[in-house]
Amino acid sequence: MAARQKLRILCFGDSLTAGYSYLGSTYHPYHFKMDQMLAMAFPDYEITTVERGKCGDMVRNGFLTRMQECFPPAKKDDKRPFDWVIVLGGTNDIAFKVPPQEIFKKLTEVWDIPLRRGCKVLALTVPDVVGDGKFKMRGDADRKVLNELIMGYKKPNLHVYDLHDAISLTKMSSTDRKTYRDDQIHFTPEGYDLIGNKVGMALVSLLVKQRVADLPPAKRRRIFKNDDKLFEEETGNPESLDGGYVVVRRTDLD
């Protein structure tokens, strides 16, 4: 029996990566749902996910040291410890009025650590917060600048997913906000599952794109034959994973 291909992922960040909820009485990291999606899409993979989320941590102060700890100096024949590193950070820095340009500069230094070791990086934009008033308005302005800097950054093996847009409060009904948001900053377990759903689909698309790129053109065309066919399962709730399916089309990879 052939050995299963290994997929090793590091989810790195602050309390939003740790899955902090209900004043710390519950931790439900988004990678729980992300792992389910990856397992459905790639049943032939052996998936290992390491979560390194630290509550209250800041990109400016703690991220760089902690990321270095995840990548100790490599010995001569050491392989990279992870295939993918997913980074989400900046929420606490914005709350403490760290300029977005400074946050971004530190993020690039954090991303560079896994990139130098041959890992691929998926950088996430920073989600919005619940509330109103001048404090939120200033934070929203800084968050917009930071997210635009993240979205515009280009480097080999670094990919960006706009998590802010995917789970934006402006796209949620009042019922959804109660379901997914716990407090001004954090999410409920259902909210972290929503993040895992979105990030999982982004990672599935990137992995499929790489698989397809490695195939000869003729085989690539056969894979996407009848790509416009609508599967019966696709008519259901796109947020629900109970159906046990993941559909990836050519358009998802463009």
Q: What is the DSSP string of 148-181?
A: HHHHH---TTEEEE-HHHHT-GGGS-HHHHHHHB
The label of the residue with tokens 């499929």 reads 208
pLDDT digits (tens, 9 = 90+) for 145-154: 999 999 999 9
Q: Provide the b/e sequence for 222-232 (b: ≥16 CB within 10 Å).
A: eeeeeeeeeee
| pLDDT level of residue 131 (50, 70, 90 thresholds) | confident
CB-count burial class (<10 Å; 0-12, 13-18, 19+) for 66: middle
Judge whether 54 and 66 are in contact, CB under 8 Å. Answer: yes
* Alpha-carbon gap, residue 239 to 193, rounded angstroms: 9
pLDDT digits (tens, 9 = 90+) for 32-77: 999 999 999 999 999 999 999 999 999 999 999 999 999 998 776 6
* Alpha-carbon gap, residue 173 to 128, rounded angstroms: 15
Report pLDDT for 112. Answer: 98
Q: Does the pLDDT of residue 243 top 80, yes or no?
A: no
* Alpha-carbon gap, residue 151 to 159, rounded angstroms: 9
* Helices first, then strands: H and E counts in the chain: 11, 7
- What tokens appear for 100 in the block? 């977005």
Judge whether 123 and 161 are in contact, CB under 8 Å. Answer: yes
Q: Which amino acid is at 254?
A: D
Least confident of 64-68, 119-123, 211-215, 248-252: 248-252
pTM of the predicted protein model: 0.85
Closest CA to 36 of 163, 154, 204, 152: 204
